[in-house]
Structure 1
Amino acid sequence: MRERLDCAVFSTSCNDEWAQGWLGVHAGGRLHIRIAASGIDIHHPNANALLGQSEMLLRRFDVCLVPVCAQNLSWLRTSLQAAYPLQTPVLALVRDLKAAALDDLYNLGLADFVKGPLCPEELRVRIERLLTMRRYRAAVPGMQAGQGVSECPPARPDAPIPEAGCTEEELCSTILERTGLELDAFAVASASRSTSSRESFRVAKNKVIERFERAYINAALGRHSGNIAMAARAAQKHRRAFWALMRKYQIDAASYRPEAATKVLPGG
């Protein structure tokens, strides 16, 4: 969990009054919100370029918050299109918008959104999830920048960050140390690749599940030195179910026991 999240507000004139109520320090001092631009006239010829022109300014912040309603929806659409790609993620604070409008904004580069009335704690959680997802995106082959974070669970605050280019083999070998967010990111990447192949949904899904189960069972046995009962207990699975997975993937617990490493073959 980040100790402090700095948020810049880009507000058009139609939302200035609404945005004023968010300014200040929230969530126990972890969420700092301040104005970066206000009173933006959406009818000004250069209004649509302002977001992109402020890229260097926005790099000082963790996220750019933009209040959006029906009146300035068109402005944000054009601004996102003109500013793409921004290094600082844009998160919309929305009111009275339909799902189709939000979907359109996602396609244009919006990172996430929160519906009004604003809940500071919800905003903090969403920003942290968003930033964590961006940190993992570079480490996950095939992960697209436009994929949202709403389907990904939050990571542990002390979770290790994988190096860029982390392979599936490296992920599997350390699966018990990985976060739910990272595992989901790899699953999303695998699913994205499968959509461009001839595999059916069922086949692609089974492949992801099989890779996870095999890696998890191996890692659990390795952590507990081949002790099946302890590995099953740590995994919160019944021993018979754990054993069934071992048989399914032909995993031998003996190879993880200490004596296996020092065993001398006959005649050796």
Structure 2
Amino acid sequence: MRERLDCAVLSTPCCFDWLGPWLGPHAAGKLQLHPLDGCNATVDSVESARLLAASSMRLRRYDACLIPVNESNLAWARTSLSMAKGALHTPVVALVRNLKAAALDDLHTLGLADFVRDPLCIEELRARIERLLDGNRYLASPPAATSSISENRANYTRMAGLAGPLTQEALCATILDRSGTELEAFAIASASRCATTRESFRAAKSQVIERFERAYITAALGRHSGNIAMAARAAQKHRRAFWALMRKHDIDAAPFRAEAVPNHPGDG
């Protein structure tokens, strides 16, 4: 673990009120959040969207770049990441507020290395940056398609430290703690493996999605002690849709409640 991490912050005015108080030193100086001087980003300026790419050299001084993203500046974040793709050597982490899963997937596709949710947990941010740096999970310049698949497959096997079917089980058991890059590597590894079998594209895709859904729903219920409403809210899914997935995979919330809080005589 590094003695100190320095994280640059590139923000827009719509996020200043909830990000501003976090600027400065944290964890006894082990994590420093620095505003990126001279970068006054606005959501309605094309020049502002170029700031991330234009700051690539300055960002080399930092371990990571944090960008706060909500519904108001989502378009700016998308454009900024798109323009900076292939130019950055510093991982970009988003501090997100009220974003749906589809928006997060889009940001990852455009080059986002990882994200944390608001309200910010400093220890989580520090841990995620450490994992990005230690595992070399951020690629500034995506390689050709063929080498990308093989490298990501190798990266996933190395990350998990396992091979074969156990690799999938290891990921499923810790799926809520995995970064977007790790999940992408897992998807690539699974697709690459299925392509060498006699399974059809449709059957292979269905199998991977089914495993992911079952693992995610189970992990979410476990984290929230079987509280379906809280698990659905954390997953950013409507409660009915979350319940439908539980029925689809025959998952019962009751065992998670029993494990979390033992019943005592006299409890109401």
**Common fold: TM-score over 0.5:** yes
Task: Quote the residue 1:197 is aligned against.
Answer: 196
3-state secondary structure, aligned to 1:131: helix
Out of 108, 113, 133, the position equivalent to 1:106 is 108
The structure that has the greater radius of gyration is 1
Matched residue SS, 2:116: strand
1:197 CA drift (Å):
2.6
SS in 1 for 2:103: helix
Q: What 5-or-longer segments of structure 2 have no aligned partner?
A: 164-177, 209-268
Is structure 2 residue 12 aligned with structure 1 residue 12?
Answer: yes
Q: Report the equivalent of 1:121.
A: 123
Q: Deviations over 1:85-132 (max 9, x none)?
A: 221010000101111100110111100000011111111111111112
Q: Is the 8 A contact 1:16 1:39 kept in 2?
A: no
CA offset at residue 196 of structure 1? 3.8
Question: Per-residue CA shift, 1:155-195, capped at 9, x if unaligned?
Answer: 9xxxxxxxxxxxx9xxxxxxxxxxxx9xx89x947545314
Deviation (angstroms), 1:135: 6.2
- Which 10-residue stretch deviates more, 67-76 or 11-20? 11-20
SS in 2 for 1:25: strand
Between 1:40-49 and 1:68-77, the stretch displaced more is 40-49
Give the drift of 1:199.
5.6
Distance, in Å, in 1 between the alignment partners of 2:31 and 2:198 is 44
Mapping 1:121-160, distance limit 5 Å? 121-134=123-136, 142-144=150-152
The residue aligned with 2:31 is: 31
Q: CA RMSD in A?
A: 3.5
C-alpha change, 1:194 and 1:90, in structure 2 (3 Å) is same
Paired with 1:196 and 1:57, the residues of 2 have a C-alpha distance of: 42
Identify the match of residue 97 of structure 1 among 96, 99, 105: 99
**Alignment match, 1:214:** none
The structural deviation recorded for 1:136 is 9.4
Change (3 A) 1:192 1:61: farther
Is the 2:152–2:189 contact (alpha carbons within 8 Å) kept by the matching residues of 1?
A: no
Q: What is the DSSP-based 3-state SS (H/G/I as helix, E as strand, rest coil) of the residue aligned with 1:7?
A: strand
Which residue identity is paired with 2:84? A
Over 3 Å counting, the alpha-carbon distance change for 1:142 and 1:192 in structure 2 is farther
TM-score by length of 2: 0.55
The amino acid of 1:31's aligned partner reads L
TM-score normalised by the chain length of structure 1: 0.55
**Structure 1 residues 22 and 13: alpha-carbon distance in aligned structure 2, compared to 1, 3 A threshold:** same
8 Å contact 2:41–2:49 — kept in the other structure?
Answer: no
Comparing 61-70 and 24-33, the one that deviates more: 24-33
Which amino acid letter does the alignment assign opposite residue 48 of structure 1? A
Whole-angstrom CA distance in 1 between matches of 2:71 and 2:83: 20
What pairs with 1:164-203 in structure 2 (closer than 5 Å)?
188=186, 190-191=189-190, 193-198=192-197
C-alpha contact (below 8 Å) 2:132/2:138 kept by paired residues = no
The one-letter amino acid paired with 1:59 is R
CA contact (8 A) 2:95 2:117 kept: yes
Q: For residue 56 of structure 1, what is the aligned residue in structure 2?
A: 57
Separation of aligned partners in 2, 1:135 and 1:97: 23
* Count of paired positions: 171
Q: Secondary structure at the match of 1:33?
A: strand
Query: Is residue 77 from structure 1 mapped to residue 78 from structure 2 by the alignment?
Result: yes
